[in-house]
Structure 1
């Protein structure tokens, strides 16, 4: 009896985990759903444990499946990146660049870069996912992501895209004429605040300050709660209430005179927007081209 190939069934397992569907996994691998099911069954028999919960409507990972995915997904990405580099003898950027992008980066990074990038590299297709949920970056097969610095995993390589920015409270000139300006964080209790429900966690974001050397965290009070940063800023610009945002993301409306910052002296510190990626992915020509485009944007902002 021949020796069992340790890689048998892993491609099918990864495809099912990614798509959460045997039918869609079969389309991705260009085989029949029956072939996918058979490969999965053989893998589960070999491992002696089920990897997916199956019902007539959905399929989801078991605990053993989640453990296996966490172990092999990074290795699979390394192999895929290495094969991509090896097959690109000309070193010309090509293929699909898959990016996972923080929503607030869209107007400041993606919209300025994408037209020129696509014109410069017509052989590169860009697949963008706009989301604040980045925990599945590796398992999702992304080449790069854009996120605020503190939320990036420590084992990633990061390239700064924005200037250093601060966190502050913002309101419209009309709102401040009618209601006055908060002078200290405690004053916010007397103001209408637009609350932000984080899409990735579902909780209300607490406003953070530094006061007399101590961290202060305030859950804002107000009649309006949103889960979209752009809508939050639009409402604030119309005088609906105060918001908590960064000087970077509010910069366009501040320059236009629609918003004004307050409580800057209580800012918890500086942050930045970064492009991040794995060490294995950084040698890909398509990603290198995008990194260069981001670096050019960064230079234009500091000139």
Structure 2
């Protein structure tokens, strides 16, 4: 049967269950004559008599009873599922998928979403750690997290962190027999801990800026990693100079375990933003996540 005939099936089911065109019409909110005509049309299309009609009662034929018994549980299942979906409008529930970098997750997103997980047990949160630029629509994500400078113009962006910076650090032991760099180009003489960019496959060129003068340095060294915490650990163990988010090394610098260099060459840049493709009405689960992450 064509899709447009499904409504006739629902009307037939109402008559079969009520055993009355009058009661079924009142239940459905349609005229009795309209309901009777629709059922007759259904019988004509199927080539089967579904109802036995008398002046006092309506009963299902054998074919009508079989159709009723087949339809009733399926319609009930659909109604139950729709009712469950409608509940999403009223309380945070369901899955929220976000793609983000390791640093964004550990420094911003996870600490802010812990209370959400505790407060809304019906929310299922999936955080996909990936430093590459993902297409959140094609890859099935609800949102992503990127630095402000990397946002696409057609996305809705919500700031979730303050501005921050990358800093160059190494252990005091590493600098014990090596000169302290005064200019980014001095790093070329040092053993630097490299980072390979997942998006393009090449090593990241360290970016510095001072008084409007930008400098990029393609450092070299015997160690290449793709994890900021691992780079910090390598620097703490004297393997070289690391270029990492300041928040990861601030305590180590204060405690003297790491030494900050080229401080005046490390300006702040736009922090993290949550981005998503539309301002359409979002489910409460997504709205709860956005509200928790929003920078205040």
TMscore range, shorter length: 0.5 to 0.7
Task: Tell me which residue corresponds to 2:176.
Answer: 177
Aligned pairs (5 A) from 1:1-303: 87-88=86-87, 90-211=89-210, 213-267=212-266, 269-280=268-279, 283-295=282-294, 298-299=295-296
Does structure 1 conserve the Cα–Cα contact (< 8 Å) formed by 2:196 and 2:224? yes
TM-score (normalised: structure 1): 0.63
1:130-172 residue CA offsets vs partner (Å, 9 max, x unmatched)? 1112332111121121222212212222222222112321112
Cα deviation, 1:78-113, whole Å, max 9, x if unaligned, reads xxxxx9xx8446431111011112111122124323
What is the alpha-carbon distance in structure 2 between the residues aligned to residue 281 and residue 259 of structure 1? 47
Deviates more, 1:186-195 or 1:254-263: 254-263
Deviation digits for residues 187-244 of structure 1, max 9, x if unmatched?
1122111111112321100011225643221100111111222211110121110012
Identify unmatched segments of 5+ residues in structure 2: 3-81
The answer (yes or no) to whether the contact 2:164–2:271 under 8 Å persists in 1 is yes
Do 1:208 and 1:268's aligned partners in 2 also have CA atoms closer than 8 Å? no
Provide the secondary structure at the position in 2 that maps to 1:235: helix
Q: Distance in 1 between matches of 2:90 and 2:272?
A: 28
Structure 1 residues not aligned, in runs of 5+: 3-82
3-state SS in 2 of match to 1:290: helix
Q: Distance in 2 between matches of 1:293 and 1:89?
A: 18
Please give the alpha-carbon distance, in whole angstroms, between the structure 2 residues aligned to 1:167 and 1:119.
32
Could you give the per-residue CA deviations for residues 104-134 of structure 1, whole angstroms, max 9, x where no partner exists?
Answer: 1122124323432111111111122111123
Q: Give a deviation string over 1:59-86, Cα, whole Å, max 9, x none.
A: xxxxxxxxxxxxxxxxxxxxxxxx9xx8
Say if 1:167 and 1:264, in contact at 8 Å, map to a contact too.
Answer: no
Quick check: 2:232–2:248 contact (8 Å CA) kept in 1? no
- Provide closer, same or farther for how the CA distance between residues 157 and 173 of structure 1 changes in structure 2, counting only shifts above 3 A: farther
Instruction: State the superposition RMSD in angstroms.
Output: 2.8
1:242-275 deviation digits (Å, cap 9, x = unpaired): 0122323433543554333221212254231222
Is the alpha carbon distance of 1:201 and 1:252 closer, same or farther for their aligned partners in structure 2, counting shifts above 3 Å?
A: farther
Q: CA deviation at 1:287?
A: 1.5
Note the alpha carbon deviations across 1:263-303, whole angstroms, 9 max, x for none: 121225423122222224663311211122223xx44xxxx
Question: Is the Cα–Cα contact under 8 Å of residues 196 and 226 in structure 1 kept in the other structure?
Answer: yes
DSSP 3-state at the match of 2:176? helix
Contact 1:143–1:281 (8 Å) recurs in 2: no
Tell me, in whole angstroms, the C-alpha distance in 1 between the residues paired with 2:265 and 2:118. Answer: 44
TM-score, length of structure 2 as denominator length: 0.65
Task: Give 1:51's aligned residue.
Answer: none
